[in-house]
Structure 1
Amino acid sequence: MELSPSAHVDTFTRDNLPPAGQWPVFEFTLPELQYPDRLNAATVLIDDAVEIFGAERPALHTPDGGTWSYGQLKQHANQVAQVLTEDFGVVPGNRVLLRGPNNPWLVAAWLGVLKAGAVVVTTMPVLRASEVATICELTEPVVAISDHRFSADLHDAVRAGTAVVTYGASDDSDLTVRCAGKSGIFKDVPTAADDVALLGPTSGTTGTPKITMHFHRDILANADTFARHILKPTSEDVFAGSPPLAFTFGLGGLVVFPLRFGASALLTERATPMDLARHAAAAGATVLFTAPTAYRAILKEGRGDLLKNLRVAVSAGEHLPKEIWEAVHEATGLSLVNGIGATEMLHVFISAAGDDIRPGATGVAIPGFRATIFDEDGNEAAPNEPGRLAVIGPTGCRYLNDERQLNYVHNGWNVTGDTFVRDEEGYFYYQARSDNMIISSGYNIGAPEVEAAIDQHPDVVENAVVGRPDPERGSVVCAFIVLREGVTADAAKRKEIQDFVKATIAPYKYPRDVRFVTELPRNPSGKLQHFKLRAAVSEETTELAGAGQGR
């Protein structure tokens, strides 16, 4: 596919796109996917929205009752763009890293980066400095914008010469103070529709994350497929959800989708499932995004009533068991909208809504996408035969300068790491992850990354990490650890290693289940056999949980 002339002065992202022959096929089969050659996603999402829906319409809410209007969000986004270009010399194509919890200033910064023609790299605030440093090494940001509460170790994580600016601290150099001194008038850079707008790190199955590359048109395409055809938003909707904006699931559900349709969003910085349910109910939320485990937790507290005013409840981030779907439906009358997406695809591409929902099924390929199942030989599988899920649509996998591109794209198809079956009517049913990704409470956790963290403990000789089925979280991280000779394998050592991992990588990745063993299973060539460990934890989950093994 021939690219349009780029507006980027800094050509880093264009230079590091995968070779054209390694790209997936892109299809734009719907009229709403016919975007102009010059397109800035931020212009569409906020400037055009102000013109269509009005500057006074509510855009962003916070649990304390605060609200930003569309006009205020536009002004602050313009001010951020002014700060970036005037104070820090950002030029189109430069990368800008964002770090913070879900709040209005993070959204304003995200839009401001795009308005300036730069490329946004949003990171999870709970990532450790070493993890942020890896992302910075790969993406080479020139500026890092951080909530002041998460900036302590950022100076050590960024590359030399990267400017760090915080918001929320109210000192003279704070982003909010800088913005207050700007006019709020900014002419958005007329980027190409196929200029890279954001770089999204994955929680991949190796220690080094893959960096997905998404164009300006991709950001709108997810709103014009999944949101438009499955969620059917109106300007009266209020979106709420738990996923961080650094996850493309959260970015779509809490920023792109509501702004695209003139709706508003409730942003919660950090909330338990019950907190989220209470805040959403108080804000009059009509669309909710969260993981199946959150819905289960709300029902366990007997508070399904907090969900009854929702118009749409979306479950994604991990597999939705049929039992949870039925429990939510019985308690609230809601038919949970299931779905599967991928960071490589930006958002959901298989789903169903309303009368098309079949409990236990993920759904069908949504309008704008088509999907199939490949067998082990790379051929299309027969109905009801398990195989690898593959998809083609208006978005697709492009990794930043990464040979693993060849592992995801085959003959033009995006082939995910999931095993599914498809029935005769085109409904897809999830079977399992076909790689060693662990999905726990909606978070993607790469087993090799956890293994690498555990290996750094001085008492660990070797270890292996797998996902153990768990009724509350879907899966939990389970580590099999061989200790140095003479080290006591007891509860104190287990907790010590768990705390060590929490201090080394993001805390949600730590092994909740730690099992000390004398050796790990290997094949004759010495390769570690993770599949044997997976089989063991699947068969022994109930017994081990009852014995209190490391939970």
Structure 2
Amino acid sequence: MTEQTYQDYIAKFTPQMIESQFSGQLSEAPGINVCVESCDRHVQQNPDKAALRYQRIDGSKGELSFAELQRRSAQFANMLKSQGIGKGDRVACLLPRTPELLIAVLGTLRAGGVYQPLFTAFGSGAIEYRLNCAGSKLIITNPEQWPKLADVKNLPKTMLVADSSEACASESDLLWQQAVDSQDDQFEPVLIGQDEPFLQMFTSGTTGKSKGVVVPAKALVSFWTYMELAIGLRDEDNYWNVADPGWAYGLYYAVVGPLLLGCTTHFNEHGFTADNTYAFMQEFEITNLAAAPTAYRLLMANEAQRADYNINLRVASSAGEPLNPEVANWMDRVFSCPVRDHYGQTETGMTACNYHALDHEEHVACMGFPMPGYRLVALDDEFNEVEPGQTGQLAVDVSQSPQFFFMGYSFSDKKPYHGNYYLTGDMVIRNADGSHSYTGRDDDIITSAGYRIGPADVESTLLEHPAVIESAVVAKPCEKRGSIVKAYAVIREQDEPNDALVEELQQYVRNRLSTHSFPREIEFVTELPKTPSGKLQRFLLRQRAVDELDGQGAA
């Protein structure tokens, strides 16, 4: 089948092309239910098709059909109703990639609630901040994560996915099996309007704590478009998005996106290793893969293991950080599989892509072309749109982007707009054909192994330790991870600046914030560079971190 060109598709695209395929009414009353669109709608056509195929940490495997997901999500919704939790209420999950996580997501959405993801690497401080900001009504977790909640202030109602014999079972308000499995399996879906939220996200910032981002129902059009055109998802695909659903890319495009199209998604509870990934792709006959460049680089570094497995990928996608050309060449050589780079943010979803389902020009190290329904531009320092070949800040022209769904930050005064433009904070080169090529951030956000890390979160956590007087956190280039988090710290006179204190501070950040954002390097300094007005000059520390690499290779 000949692919449609990008230009031809853009010329005729309207959001109504997607909306017309929904069961509910997105743009008008009475409204829509995300669980119906992601589950019930497909039960009518193919009830026995697998919505989820999974592998647990103990190696056991299973699947959940769309019909079973419909039934169990209804039970979960009835449980929520019995607890007085309903439309607009936040329900948080601190769970690994298991079937219970998917049931909780869909059950919350069936009840008209707002699902709130919590990454399992978060420490107690990060969990407390997100729960308290969102006013969450319930948190669901397991025995492995339960100890983190002991230090959380104003803890909402708790539910444990655990057997009653577990030591911590008596401490939780609810146990999954007793509270959910006994419920009726019929529940009338609660409808929401296009501007009403169904996901409660948080995104890293350069100043202050992480900022809240609510995702409204109208984002479904954007999710659908991305899955169909950029991911190139087909009904017969075995699709695996490696990203964790505790983050936007994993929740948007490993859970909601594929189910919206009626396709099977996959969960692997194991941590990412090359051997486990190769084995999982063979076991579940994965044909469509999505992951961060870090994952592809790890597979490439362990290419010798590839020969032990029979893997037949059709297409692959990359997001989270720029895709290295050498990775794309390796995927083509080893898997005979094209891997395409995609760009997006928590706030906007994916907005620029190299498409599997559309034919267009491809450039090396290019983030691709705007998603249908978005107009992307590059702006100079005076907020004028630059000419082809020039560099500027990537921005969304909101007035001409009907798929744009970001509604502003919750719990923060920051407004990332200038007039009609939403400012991404990313610097790009505008190409003559309408695509853009990424050149870097214009702020201090750190991208490490595909995770976006706000330096302010790490700095404020370090300052909570009694030994630290001041701290500054920057990105240090790293060949394996793209960047690592490096901290510069001013400590009290009575404390020794030694390796033991470095390890203590690293563990402190792991416990309080998260295991993915702790500083892999800490350097003790007598003072931090500042402006005369006292503002931290992180750019000087970033340059210092780069200079440290001279003569020693990447960290």
TM-score (norm 2): 0.88
What pairs up with 1:277-292 in 2 under 5 angstroms? 277-292=278-293
Contact 1:199 1:212 in 2 (8 A): yes
2:484 is paired with a residue whose SS is strand
Contact 2:210 2:457 in 1 (8 A): no
In structure 2, C-alpha distance between the alignment counterparts of 1:43 and 1:51, rounded to whole Å: 11
Deviations 1:65-87 (A, max 9, x none): 2111111111111110011002x
Equivalent in the alignment of 1:121: 116
Which residue of 162, 167, 179 maps to 2:161? 167
Question: Is residue 341 of structure 1 aligned with residue 341 of structure 2?
Answer: no
Instruction: Give the superposed CA RMSD.
Output: 2.2
Contact 1:307 1:332 in 2 (8 A): no
Which residue of 524, 527, 542 maps to 1:519? 527
In structure 1, C-alpha distance between the alignment counterparts of 2:410 and 2:48, rounded to whole Å: 43
Equivalent in the alignment of 2:68: 72
Contact 1:78 1:184 in 2 (8 A): yes
Contact 2:475 2:484 in 1 (8 A): yes
Deviations 1:445-487 (A, max 9, x none): 1111111122223332322110011100010001112233354
Question: Is residue 361 of structure 1 aligned with residue 374 of structure 2?
Answer: no
2:434 is paired with a residue whose SS is coil
| Amino acid in structure 1 at the alignment position of 2:35 | A
Contact 1:98 1:122 in 2 (8 A): yes
Equivalent in the alignment of 2:229: 229
Deviations 1:266-317 (A, max 9, x none): 1012422412332122111112121101101111111455695112211111
1:541 is paired with a residue whose SS is coil
Query: 1:142 and 1:545, CA in 2 relative to 1: closer, same or farther beyond 3 A?
Result: same
TM-score (norm 1): 0.88
In structure 1, C-alpha distance between the alignment counterparts of 2:202 and 2:515, rounded to whole Å: 18
| Amino acid in structure 2 at the alignment position of 1:482 | V
Deviations 1:466-520 (A, max 9, x none): 0011100010001112233354333333222222222221011111122222322
Identity of aligned residues (%): 28
Question: Is residue 443 of structure 1 aligned with residue 418 of structure 2?
Answer: no
Question: Is residue 329 of structure 1 aligned with residue 324 of structure 2?
Answer: no
Which residue of 9, 17, 28 maps to 1:31? 17
What pairs up with 1:350-499 in 2 under 5 angstroms? 350-354=352-356, 356=360, 357-391=362-396, 392=398, 393=401, 394-406=403-415, 408-485=416-493, 487-499=495-507
For structure 1, the 5+ residue unaligned runs are: 1-26
Which residue of 44, 47, 51 maps to 1:51? 44
In structure 1, C-alpha distance between the alignment counterparts of 2:525 and 2:188, rounded to whole Å: 62
1:61 is paired with a residue whose SS is strand
| Amino acid in structure 2 at the alignment position of 1:85 | K
Shift of 1:401: 4.0
Query: 1:435 and 1:498, CA in 2 relative to 1: closer, same or farther beyond 3 A?
Result: same
| Amino acid in structure 2 at the alignment position of 1:278 | A
Shift of 1:372: 0.6
| Amino acid in structure 2 at the alignment position of 1:62 | Y
Which residue of 308, 311, 316 maps to 2:314? 311
1:250 is paired with a residue whose SS is helix
| Amino acid in structure 1 at the alignment position of 2:255 | V
Shift of 1:155: 5.8
Question: Is residue 61 of structure 1 aligned with residue 50 of structure 2?
Answer: no
Query: 1:156 and 1:472, CA in 2 relative to 1: closer, same or farther beyond 3 A?
Result: same
1:509 is paired with a residue whose SS is coil
Contact 1:304 1:328 in 2 (8 A): no
Shift of 1:148: 3.8
Contact 1:384 1:422 in 2 (8 A): yes
Equivalent in the alignment of 1:17: none
Query: 1:496 and 1:443, CA in 2 relative to 1: closer, same or farther beyond 3 A?
Result: same
In structure 2, C-alpha distance between the alignment counterparts of 1:501 and 1:245, rounded to whole Å: 22
- State the aligned residue count: 515
Equivalent in the alignment of 1:130: 125
Deviations 1:219-266 (A, max 9, x none): x22332111122232221122132111212101322122212222111
| Amino acid in structure 1 at the alignment position of 2:364 | P
In structure 2, C-alpha distance between the alignment counterparts of 1:148 and 1:499, rounded to whole Å: 21
Equivalent in the alignment of 1:195: 196
Shift of 1:399: 3.3
Contact 2:117 2:246 in 1 (8 A): yes
Contact 2:223 2:253 in 1 (8 A): no
Shift of 1:51: 1.0
Question: Is residue 100 of structure 1 aligned with residue 86 of structure 2?
Answer: no
Contact 1:136 1:157 in 2 (8 A): no
Deviations 1:366-424 (A, max 9, x none): 22222111111111112122211112431332235445452x12223221121111111
In structure 1, C-alpha distance between the alignment counterparts of 2:135 and 2:238, rounded to whole Å: 36
1:294 is paired with a residue whose SS is helix
| Amino acid in structure 1 at the alignment position of 2:51 | A
Equivalent in the alignment of 2:240: 240
Equivalent in the alignment of 1:140: 135
Contact 1:95 1:142 in 2 (8 A): yes
Contact 1:266 1:280 in 2 (8 A): no
Shift of 1:332: 2.4
| Amino acid in structure 2 at the alignment position of 1:92 | K
